[in-house]
Structure 1
Amino acid sequence: MRDAVKIAGDTKNTDAFRARLYQYPELVNMKSAGGRTARDHAEAIQHTATRQAVVRSLEDAGALRSDQLRLNERLLNAAKKRDAATVRELLTVGSDPCWAGNGKSPLSIAIAHGQLELVKAMISDRPSGKADIAAARAGLSKNEAVAFEHDFRRLCRNGNLSEAKELHALGLIDDVDARSKNGRTALHETTDANVISWLLERGADANLCDKDGQS
C-alpha cells in the first residue's frame, strides 16, 4: 500500500489508487519496515489536492496513522491478556476499543471473556455504547458470546436483580430465555419473586422445559 501511495503522489492518479485500495483492503494498515503506515506516507504527499484525496480515501477505508495504530494494537493485546490496568490507561490516551483490524476488537474480546468492568470502561465515554456492544457481539461466534449468559443466569439464581438488569440494559443479554447446556433458562434457575416478576416482564417464557422436561 505504501507503493500505491507513492505512485499516487507521483502521478496524481487518485482513481487508480482508490481502485487498488478497494482491491486490497486488508493491506490498509500494514506497516513498512520503518513502522510507518500508508496514512503516514499519504500525509507526506506534496501536492495538496492529491494528498487530501488520498488521505480521505484511506480514512474511509479505516486507515490509521502509525501512532494511533500502535495504541490500538496495545489495547488489543491488553484485552487479550485481561490486563485491566493497561486497558484503562490506554483508553485515556485515545486508543479505540472498537478497532478490529483484521480480527476481533478489544471490546469483542472483553465481551467474550465476560469482563464486565472492562466492557463498561470501554464504552463509558462513547455515546453509541450500546450500539458498539451490539456490533462487537455480532463479531463473535455463538460459543464466544455465552460468557454473560452464564453470568446472567447465575445472577438471577442468586437474586442479584440489579446486576442482572445492568447486563440486560447494556445489551449484553439479547434473550432472557438464553439456555444453558442443560436447557435451563434464568427463569428455571431462580426462586426469587422479584427476579421472576422482572423476567416475565421482559418476555421470559414460563412454559419452556429443560432437558429433564422441567418448566
Structure 2
Amino acid sequence: MSDSGLMMGVITGDLYRSSTDYERGVSYIGLMEVMLENIKKNNRLRVADVDFFRGDSFQITSKDPINLLSIAVYIRAYLRSYSEKNDDKGMYDARLAISIDKVNKYRRDINSIFESAQIKSGKSLDLIENDEMMVFDSSLYDLKEIYSPSIILLDALLSMLSKPQSEILREIVYDRDASISEIAEKLGKSKQVVYKTIKRGSVDKIIKFLDAHLSLVGMRFF
C-alpha cells in the first residue's frame, strides 16, 4: 500500500438541513458550488472529480487519499464560516461519509464501474446517525482502525467551531503557506485577533491533529 496511486479516496456529502426553506436552500447550494470549485482549483488537495446529485449532495474523488481529511475539514469550515446564526436554523454545515480503498486495477471502463470506496462512502452517508456529521469506512482493516476514531475526534472538534474560528480555519487549510498577516488582511481582522482565535479555540487543535495524522498515515499507508 505504499503507492497511493493504487488507492482511491472518496467523500460523499450532503448539506445539513438544506431543505428547511426555499431561500435557505438556494443560497446554501450556491455556497456548496463555490466551495467545490475552490477545492478543484487547489492543486495541493489533488481532487480528481466532483459530482453533484440530488441537488444538495456531492461526491468528491481524490487522486491522493492522504489529503482526504484536509478536504473534509475545508468543506465543513467553509460552510460553517458562512453560517447566519449558531443554531440549527442558521447553521451551514455538511454531513460527510469518507472512504479510502484499493482501486480495481483490472477494470476496463473507468466511467462505468464504481470503485469500492465510492460504494462504501455512498452507503455510509445513507446510514449516518443523527448525532454524527462525519463517518469513515474501508475494506482495509488497518486503515479503518486508524481513521475511524480519528474521524470521531475530528467531528467533535469541527462541530464546536464558531463562525470566526471557521473563517480562519478555512483559510489555513486552503493555503498552508499563508501567514497570520495574510489571513488577517484577507478577513479584515487584526493579526492579534487572528492569533488569539487560533490559540484559544479548536483551530490550533485541528491543525495539529491534521499534521500529526498526515505524518502517521503518510509513513504507514501512502
**Length-normalised TM-score, structure 2:** 0.24
Q: Which has the higher contact order (CA 8 A, sep 6+)?
A: 2
Flag the structure with larger Rg.
1
Which structure is higher in strand share? 2
